[in-house]
Amino acid sequence: MDGIVRSIAGKRDKVVVVGAGVGGLSAALRLIGAGAEVLVLEAAGAPGGKIRQVEIDGRRLDAGPTVLTMRWAFEELFRTVGADLDRHIPMTPLHVLARHAWDGSSGNGTLGDRRDGTLDLFADEAETTDAIGAFAGAAEARRYTAFCAESRKFYETLEGPFLKGGKPTVASVTKEVGLRRLPDLLALRPMATLWQALGGHFKDPRLRQLFGRYATYSGSSPFQAPATLMLIAHVERKGVWQVDGGMITIAKGLAHLIEDLGGTVRTNAPVARIETKGNRTTGVTLADGEFIEADSVIFNGDVAALADGLLGDGVRRAAPGTERSRRSLSALAWQMVATVEGFPLSRHTVFFGPDYPAEFKALFGGRLPSAPTVYVCAQDRADEANPNWGDPNLVDPNLVDPNLVDPNLVDPNRGEPDRGDPNRGGPERLHLHVNAPPTGDYAPPSREDLDRCEDETFRLMARCGLHLQDIRGETVRTGPAEFERLFPATGGALYGPTTHGWKASFARASPRTRIKGLYLTGGSVHPGAGVPMACLSGQLAAGMWMADRASIRA
């Protein structure tokens, strides 16, 4: 494919990728495989984008995404350059996908008075079915089996025409599915909300709440998101992966391989403008005034930054912006090192608030909820089925590039009695997350509101039995205003536009823009938010670039 990307003068086409998030790094790697000369420019001091880390008490904590699914997206990417995914990004499948807890308090919404309880979801469907039977009764277990069948059908129907489609439309999806499978397309229930669909499956309100949470994976409300998001349940059953060294290893592994194959990743290199002439990109200008010429530019950032003119007036019209009313959720997040007492945390644990309707009414009304649902990632917790996870001896030392990759891919202190071994009661690394409104640029929560939400967060966990003691160092708290500063023009929204209504999935920006030579990738672009989706969007952007270059050559 190298011949595809050579210019008439015989030189390699030069592509500048603005932003070293997963989307940008994936696009860069795919383009290198096609023979392009690739330079990745990142404003921050390390690659990763929303995958980032903070340091507390001398220990590094993931402070962004913590869940990885759809491993196949990365496998396909690495195959394009003849590389082994496990060598660069070692990971292990989880046995317990997540633990869920309710405190037993009564709600004034759809939950009503209910029992408390704890429920684990497993990678094995039969094991989860048994757990639901013990938790909510045999009838709910049977309904779960039917739910699994429908979510599987949703995924199988949409994987090819939507997830892997460059910029699908209703017509293109219908055409690719074909007349024979038209009943499958109609069975997607596009006009039903996720909450409505779950009400048809489950009688126990706790199960509706549990599976309704999948809407928040795209920063949306289960009361407005389409029923098709049920497919996320199938995606998780296909595998949730624990990345050795934390999620940051994904960014480091991609960056390392890009450099190894001849590309360049420059950090601390903020781009001030994407330059154009006529209706075509010509390169980029850095904040320090340096101009870098390029045949094409791939922008790995929120499309709202383009529409708001943060990358120059020349690219304002490249893609439509995101109205405030269509922004996805932000977050209020804490990273800390503390000793856990009382509740048996799993790697991923969710503590549900008592009133889901009120929670989302507040969030999309611009307010922090008075009783939020809390997600906790216990980053030192090994999976029950894999007690050796995190063993530094399992990490290939040849992966370490001193210029790009932190040599401490796995915390060397893991397992010492007083340094993060939860089995011995030592302090461990914790990431806490509650949803927040995306108002960081015009009406961020006040300090009093943030403190009030924090107090309620810890009270909910305490009511479920979780108590945090011996907090080490200084807890890092990040809210919508801080996320806006990290990701400008978003208001702190972390997932691009919401997925509200059946048309929303088709309304995301295309990787191909209105400006020749400018392409988009990332969570605000098709096919959607999340680490594996960003990987797919990077590959789609690179694929469109290759198709356009081949067309020009022809």
Strand partners, 339: 469
Beta strands in 128-250 (DSSP E): 241-243
Q: What is the pLDDT of residue 545?
A: 95
Domain(s) of CATH 3.50.50.60: residues in the chain = 2-91+245-323+491-553
pLDDT of residue 113: 36
Dist CA 394 CA 525 (whole Å): 35
- Fill in the DSSP letter of residue 317: T
The β-bridge partners of 68 are 241
Per-10-residue mean pLDDT, the chain, length 554: 39 92 98 96 96 95 95 96 96 96 58 63 96 97 96 81 58 55 56 92 96 96 94 94 96 97 97 96 97 97 95 93 94 97 96 95 97 96 57 37 36 36 75 98 96 97 94 95 97 95 78 95 91 95 91 61
Pairing of strands 280-286, 271-277: antiparallel
Report CA torsion sign: 459, 461, 462, 464: positive
From CA 187, how far away is CA 154, in angstroms rounded? 8
Evaluate whether 90 touches 396 at the Cβ level (below 8 Å). yes
In this predicted structure, what is the pLDDT of residue 320? 87
- Residue 305, CA atoms < 13 Å, CB-side half-sphere: 25
With contact defined as beta carbons under 8 Å apart, do 464 and 101 qualify? yes
Question: Is residue 494 within 8 Å of 329, Cβ to Cβ?
Answer: yes
Nearest C-alpha neighbor of 379 from the set 407, 419, 406, 341: 419
Q: Which two tokens stand for residue 281?
A: 């990109």
Q: Name the packing angle between helices 138-158 and 125-136 (round to 10°).
A: 140
Neighbours of 102 (CB within 10 A): 25
| Cα(232)–Cα(97) distance, integer angstroms | 13
Contacts (Cβ under 8 Å, ≥6 apart) of 527: 162, 163, 165, 508, 533, 536, 537, 540
**What pLDDT was estimated at residue 508?**
85
Q: What is the per-residue pLDDT for 162?
A: 55
Helix residue spans in 178-246 (DSSP H): 182-186, 194-201, 205-212, 231-237
Are 172 and 181 contacting, i.e. CB atoms less than 8 angstroms apart?
no
HSE at residue 202, side-chain half, CA atoms within 13 A, is 24
Beta strands in 142-270 (DSSP E): 241-243, 264-266
Q: Which long-range contacts (CB under 8 A, 24 or more apart) does 407-414 make?
A: 408/60, 408/245, 409/244, 409/245, 409/249, 409/252, 410/244, 410/245, 411/59, 411/60, 411/380, 413/59, 414/380, 414/390
Name the DSSP class of 226: B
| Contact yes or no for 527/536 (Cβ under 8 A) | yes
Give me the pLDDT at residue 105, please: 55
Q: In what order do the strands lie in the sheet with 271-277?
A: 271-277, 280-286, 291-293
CATH 1.10.760.10 correct for 2-91+245-323+491-553: no
pLDDT value at residue 298: 98
Pick the closest to residue 22 from 328, 300, 261 (CA basis).
300
Query: What are the structure tokens assigned to 336, written together?
Result: 């800390």
Residues shown for the chain:
554
